[in-house]
Amino acid sequence: VLLDNAWNKTVKTQSPQLAWPWAKTYPVGKLYFPKLDESFTILDGTTTEALAFGPGHVEGTSYPGENGNICIAGHRDSFFNNIKDLSFGDIIRIDYVDSQQLFQVDSTIVVEPEETRWLDATGSTQLTLITCYPFYYVGEAPQRYI
């Protein structure tokens, strides 16, 4: 509820709002998975604190609403647990402060953590979702699901 309230205030004021006074992150968008009937507030950054409360915008990549590669990371055992159920052609929506954008799933891949080319800038707008893999793994997972 606090994150939703902060997001709604961010949209209303057109200025980032903290969800609570001591928060070290703030909402930068809202992520919707219509097929899964799920939505999450996207937080700025991928710190331990940010990812404990929701998916985080990966530092150094395009922000939601900007042109380029928008990378969002989330934990496999919480917020991104169900992205494995997305299929080719499924729609993902991101709401920004003043607009929204639709993306379509066009591929998934499992990679090693060192493979960071998925974070590289692109000439066109795309959405890259990242979580640890395998989904059932306990502890520090050995791979990434993109």
* Distance from the Cα of residue 72 to its chain's centroid: 3
Provide the residue count of the chain: 146
Give the pLDDT confidence score for residue 1 in this predicted structure: 87
Report the C-alpha gap between 32 and 19 in whole angstroms. 20
**What DSSP element (H or E) covers 6?**
helix 2-13
Give the pLDDT confidence score for residue 65 in this predicted structure: 86
Give the pLDDT confidence score for residue 88 in this predicted structure: 96
Q: Is 57 designated active site?
A: no
Q: For the domain that residue 63 is a member of, what is the CATH number?
A: 2.40.260.10
- pTM score, two decimals? 0.93
Q: How far is CA 75 from each of CA 47, 80, 142, rounded to the nearest angstrom?
A: 12, 6, 14
Give the pLDDT confidence score for residue 139 in this predicted structure: 87
Domain count, the chain: 1
Per run of 10 residues, the mean pLDDT along the chain (length 146 residues) is 94 94 94 97 95 96 92 96 96 94 96 93 94 92 95
Q: Is 132 designated active site?
A: yes
Out of 132, 141, 144, 146, the active site residue is 132
Out of 8, 17, 35, 75, the active site residue is 75
Give the pLDDT confidence score for residue 145 in this predicted structure: 95
* Residue 20 lies in domain: 2-145
